[in-house]
Structure 1
Amino acid sequence: MRTRPSPRKIFFWALAPLLVFRLWLAAALPITGDEAYFIWWGKIPDWGFYDHPPMIGWWLAAQLALGEAAWWLRLTSVLQPFVIAGAVAFMLPRIWPEIDDERRWWATLFTLLAPAAVWNVLITTDTPLIYFSVFSGLAWLRAGNATAHDDSYGWYLLAGVFLAGAVLSKYFVAFLGFAYLVDALWRPSRRKLAGLILTYLCILPALALMAWWNAGHCWPNVMFNFINRHGGAGLSWQTPLLYLVTMGYLLTPPVVWRLARAVRTSTGSARTKSLVVLAFVPLALFALLSLVKTIGLHWVLSFLPFVFMLLALKLENPALARIGKFILGFAALHVVAFIVMAQLPLETLQRSKWYNSAVLAFEGERIAARLKPYEKDYVLASDGYADAATQGWNSRHYFFVFGEASSHARHDDVLTDFRPLEGRNILILKKSAPEPGEYAEYFHDVRVESFTLRGTNFYLVLGHGFNYPRYRASVLATVKRKYYAIPAWLPQTACYFCQRYFPEASCRR
């Protein structure tokens, strides 16, 4: 009778093929707009950045010191599933000593081969967030399993240190911090509550750093994350449904189905209850948020390893083996799909609304060559943040943002000062034809050129003699009103935008 391979063997068999695939994908994909935006953070590091805490900028600054190849800058993302799965394999028997080896490796294998773990090699703020959040959660669970002979406070301290790193990565870590509070209050004890306080104390320096930087920079993190970006938010039946579909994909349907049945029957031991809290309290908060806002696929990735750990604890090995077959097949399907798509010509996407953005990304070097002759006489810009960051990266020459743009990714407001550009010539790269007279009031004269690349048109607005006073009165005044109306209750030490352009008027509501 043939015996099926153990999950441990499958895990180690899967390591090399998955690593090769992810390295290939990291090298083959062009740098996307968000990635280029964060890479510029690394190129011009600071204590903070416009729309997120500073960790990804620091992360990339360290990598950029050693190289600029796409696969290298994405390496921490490429290696993430392997590191996280290894942490799960290492910590599970230390949190649950009674767990059998097969369950342990099923949890590890599911973490390694979950859909997003197969293909997600992109640089995002979630890259450091996932590392720090999972490590913090594992330390918290280990601290909760302490005996009289354990140094549980050492584990709480470690959970707090990692939580501080997550705080400096992205604000959604608040959901994990809230889960710790729920867990401590669900079954309170003196040691547990003291551990919670110790964990929270560890994040105070990170919060203080962020408050100090934001107070001296117009509070951009608060304005972006809690005020400016939610103009279109509102109750919708579509966004909760989309969230359910997203979770069904990320966890896979058999995992969702079996876990729903398993959790409904019993919650298990006190230690398992802590894991239930860490797995589902953040996801439940995202479900509530989905009532009014679209939940990004990458937002929830920090909490999926806890779900896979819970699955391994709740199900019997035969059921885990059946789920394992599905996840293995699903992972293989993703690999085949990406390899097939890589063989298709870019023009396959020509009818999609983002085809011109794809051309900008894939053909960035050719576009840079087109723009090279203009660099001597023009300051280079684009009309959108993603395009400016992408083409700036492809050209290895910073592109600033000309025009109002959107509420997203406005770190260029910090970097670019329009006052010294008075009288200068500016080239604005656009993916759509400018409206007649659109730029006339900002320059002494304007000429428009265009070129076609892979079936899509790109336009060069060549503005001569930039009129800063007119730009200030029109564009910058609108930007101030829409994005820098800082609430009076926020203490402010400085604001680059108003001090630079409107020293006579404060940035206050």
Structure 2
Amino acid sequence: MLGKIQIKPHGWSWLWLLLLISFRVWFSVVLPMTGDEAYFVFWGEHPAGGYYDHPPMVGWWLTALLAFAHSQWFLRLPSMALPLFLAWCGWWIARPQGDERARYAAILILLQPVNVWNVLITTDTPLIFFSMLSMAAYFAALRGKQAFSVESSWHALAGVFLGLAFLSKYFAALLGISYVIHVLFIRRDYARFAGLSILFIAAIPALIYNLWWNSHHGWVNILFNFMNRNSSAGPSVNNPVLYAISLFYLATPWLLHEFWKNRNHVAVIVAKNGEAAVAFWILVIPLTLFGLMSLWRSVGLHWLLSFTPLFAILAAIALPLMTLSKLVKWSASFAVLHMLIVILIATQPIQVWKNSRLYDGIVLTVRAEEVLLKLEPYAKDYLFSTEGYSLAATLSYNSRRPFAVFGEGSFYARQDDFVTDWRTQSGRNVLILRKSQPSKNSYVPFFDRVDFSDFEIEGVRYYLVLGQGFNYAEYHDKVLLRIRDRFYRIPAWLPQYGCDFCDRYFQSSSH
């Protein structure tokens, strides 16, 4: 059995797989829950039909996982298993080209840098999962000569998974655009328009659900993703350069070099091989769109992760076998380098980072339990809060008690607007944890009395604002009103059937 699935030039492949899995399990255990991850756990702890920043899928996943355990390694299981799933899909897609090329596709996917170290559970996890399922179904729909009913079923599945990817993150729309462009300009089969229609009919329920939820919740996803977070966007020379660097890192320079070196051969294969053609166009179209996007705003490295497995699949199908063997060796060496760097960093004493501007946040993440012990004397009498979502989410995850976000905050991660009702805190004591020294005058208007305290952990001083007798009326007029005007400016052309924040604090005001 093992002999049949072993790549002859690489008898170490199963040993490598065991090493990779072991490393990822170890890293998921030792890496403290990051602020973004803790924020998504916060979603899972408050089940809802949707959330402020993005569509709800990762929150739904975490709600299901939290029913069984709260430990970070368990909550990261979907991300832990994702590279194995992607490798299996790559193997399945490339399988018509022969077992050896299929195995190369799987191995190259496993060796991609992000699949070595990324164990984080984020909105990208379900996005990548469902996008790959959709692409695999789309590949299946185009294979060979199939009965129309079979082809239609695969197109329908591609649409269903596309819809679920859209309910994970809006970048799934780029996959949908890729399908449209592929059908309009690349495909020539007689059933292409019918297939595309079936695909989008199957995806529409997810889109309708998302629009329905947003229309009843102040269009918060739309405001965040397309308005508030883009207020500072503009042309920049740096953004395209950073995008190119991200692309070279994720795809690896040696793989891109081999594509260029063998470009004529690859062009011939893409022209005559169905799987290669689909992989090429479904990869190139979104990357081109991202490239255009980078001309006016920064493109995050993680934005590309839904499509990077296609680099490995296209390589496995279109490059010579000897070239693939060389790519595996280079990628394996790069993967080992990643592991060694991560192990080195993870085993260093925390003081190594003392001169970093991120040190206060690192200490708070790694020493969260010690921070919480300092807050324990105030637990019975105070509502705990911070002035940023990451700090609040991290401490909430580690203490399993809510930390509110006090003050105006930023356009990022405003889910606490829906969870903490400041009306019910009127007259209560509020503790605000800060990483920088507070200005007394900033808090006096909101409390009957304000005291200050501080403590030190690992050379970092943290500050406590101890507000007694919270003045809700003042907070409403000086903070909540500004939040509404800054973050909940709903365009008049959008149908408005409700806004949680506006309805809670401004019932008499139009929104």
Q: TM-score, normalised by structure 1?
A: 0.96
Say if 2:386 and 2:434, in contact at 8 Å, map to a contact too: yes
Distance 1:425 1:140, change over 3 A: same
Render the CA deviation track for 1:186-213: whole Å, top value 9, x for unaligned. 2244411111111111121111111111
RMSD of Structure 2 on Structure 1 (CA)? 1.5
1 CA distance for matches of 2:211 and 2:439? Answer: 42
SS at match of 1:15: helix
Q: Give the corresponding residue for 1:292.
A: 296
SS at match of 2:145: coil
Find out whether 1:159 has 2:124 as its counterpart: no
Pick one of 470, 476, 481 that aligns with 1:472: 476
Find out whether 1:55 has 2:57 as its counterpart: yes
More off after superposition, 279-288 vs 49-58: 279-288
Which amino acid in structure 1 is aligned with residue 40 of structure 2?
A: F
Q: Give the corresponding residue for 2:452.
A: 448
1 CA distance for matches of 2:171 and 2:62? Answer: 20
Find out whether 1:191 has 2:191 as its counterpart: yes
SS at match of 1:140: helix
Render the CA deviation track for 1:295-343: whole Å, top value 9, x for unaligned. 1111111101112111122210111111111100000111111111122
2 CA distance for matches of 1:148 and 1:505? Answer: 59
- Deviation of 1:72 (Å): 0.3
Q: Give the corresponding residue for 2:114.
A: 116
Say if 2:94 and 2:316, in contact at 8 Å, map to a contact too: no
Q: Give the corresponding residue for 1:171.
A: 170
SS at match of 2:394: helix
1 CA distance for matches of 2:400 and 2:59? Answer: 17
Q: Give the corresponding residue for 1:145.
A: 143
Q: Give the corresponding residue for 1:221.
A: 221
Q: TM-score, normalised by structure 2?
A: 0.95
1 CA distance for matches of 2:121 and 2:51? Answer: 16
Distance 1:242 1:113, change over 3 A: same
Q: Give the corresponding residue for 2:354.
A: 350
2 CA distance for matches of 1:305 and 1:7? Answer: 23
SS at match of 2:384: strand
Say if 1:146 and 1:152, in contact at 8 Å, map to a contact too: no
Find out whether 1:309 has 2:307 as its counterpart: no
Render the CA deviation track for 1:359-402: whole Å, top value 9, x for unaligned. 11111111112112211100111110111111111111010100
Pick one of 271, 291, 294 that aligns with 1:268: 271
Which amino acid in structure 2 is aligned with residue 139 of structure 1?
A: A
Distance 1:264 1:222, change over 3 A: farther
Structure 2 regions of 5+ residues with no counterpart?
A: 1-5
| 1:93-132 alignment runs, 5 A limit | 93=95, 97=96, 99-132=97-130
SS at match of 2:427: coil
Q: Give the corresponding residue for 2:3.
A: none
Render the CA deviation track for 1:281-302: whole Å, top value 9, x for unaligned. 1111111111122211111111
Pick one of 56, 71, 76 that aligns with 1:74: 76
SS at match of 1:245: helix
Render the CA deviation track for 1:101-140: whole Å, top value 9, x for unaligned. 3222221111001100000000110101111001110110
Q: Give the corresponding residue for 1:204.
A: 204
SS at match of 2:307: helix
Structure 1 regions of 5+ residues with no counterpart?
A: none
- Deviation of 1:270 (Å): 5.7
Distance 1:7 1:402, change over 3 A: farther
Find out whether 1:459 has 2:430 as its counterpart: no
2 CA distance for matches of 1:281 and 1:6? Answer: 35
2 CA distance for matches of 1:280 and 1:203? Answer: 22
Task: State the percentage of identical aligned residues.
Answer: 42
- Deviation of 1:9 (Å): 4.0
1 CA distance for matches of 2:42 and 2:10? Answer: 41
2 CA distance for matches of 1:153 and 1:305? Answer: 25
Say if 2:88 and 2:106, in contact at 8 Å, map to a contact too: yes
2 CA distance for matches of 1:20 and 1:484? Answer: 46
